[in-house]
Amino acid sequence: QLQLQESGPGLVKPSETLSLTCTVSGGYINTFIYYWGWIRQPPGKGLQWIGSACYSGNTYYNPSLKSRVTISLDTSKNQFSLKLSSVTAADTAVYFCARVPSGYDPNWFDPWGQGTLVTVSS
């Protein structure tokens, strides 16, 4: 059974870079079949897709975040990561990682990690 677990600092200072890692167990990320994605949810608000990446090297990002986001895969550790630069308080959210089973036109997410809260504050 595939499981995903987010990890990283819970507190990031404004203007710095948010870095999170998603560790995958029960399966491997070095496959062309799936994408691997990040989604976030500000406190009390809805879901926002951040981006998705595949072992093939293809990546897709939310246009509103594209200039600040990088998603990369580390197959040696079976992990994928999120980097979001120049953060502000508006980036405070619970960040989820998820598998994107639809390898063509990647669009749905299953399963999800439990999520990790990242607060941007000095």
Instruction: Write out the residues near other proteins by the rule CB under 8 A.
Output: 37, 39, 46-49, 52, 60-64, 96, 102, 105-115
Give the Cβ contact number of residue 77 at 10 Å: 12
Output 34 or 96, the one with its CB closest to other proteins.
Answer: 96
Contact 88, 120 (CB under 8 A): yes
Least distance from other proteins to the Cβ atom of residue 14, Å: 25
Q: Where are the alpha helices (DSSP H) in the chain?
A: none
Output 16 or 55, the one with its CB closest to other proteins.
Answer: 55
Q: Where are the alpha helices (DSSP H) in 25-97?
A: none
Cα–Cα distance, 89 to 60 (Å, whole number): 24
Give the residues across from 74 on adjacent strands: 79
Least distance from other proteins to the Cβ atom of residue 19, Å: 20
Least distance from other proteins to the Cβ atom of residue 115, Å: 5
Output 14 or 26, the one with its CB closest to other proteins.
Answer: 26
